[in-house]
Amino acid sequence: MIILAVDDYFGNGCSPADKKLKTNICLWLMRRKRGVSLSDEQKEAVAIVRDNLNDKIYRNNLCCAL
């Protein structure tokens, strides 16, 4: 669900550089922070994705997308 939420935040058709960003954000949200350092922009994205995942309606829509 975390991966879907991060993909939804970045949208379709991301560049190869954004894939590394997305991977780091996913790892951070999964609490696998070892060796991952985030920029301020990535930390903002983490906060937004975390807020989205706390929303019950958004979570239910992600579950339906699976």
Q: What is the pLDDT of residues 3-51, one digit of tens each?
A: 888 888 888 777 777 788 888 888 888 888 787 888 888 889 899 999 9
Could you say which DSSP state residue 31 is in?
T
Number of domains into which the chain is organized: 1
The Cα 47–Cα 38 span in angstroms is: 12
pLDDT of residue 47: 93
pLDDT band at 66 (very low <50, low <70, confident <90, very high): low
pLDDT of residue 12: 74
pLDDT of residue 22: 86
* pTM of the predicted structure, to 2 decimals: 0.79
Structural domain for 10, as ranges: 2-65
The Cα 33–Cα 14 span in angstroms is: 23
Task: Count CA atoms closer than 13 A to 34's CA, side-chain side.
Answer: 1
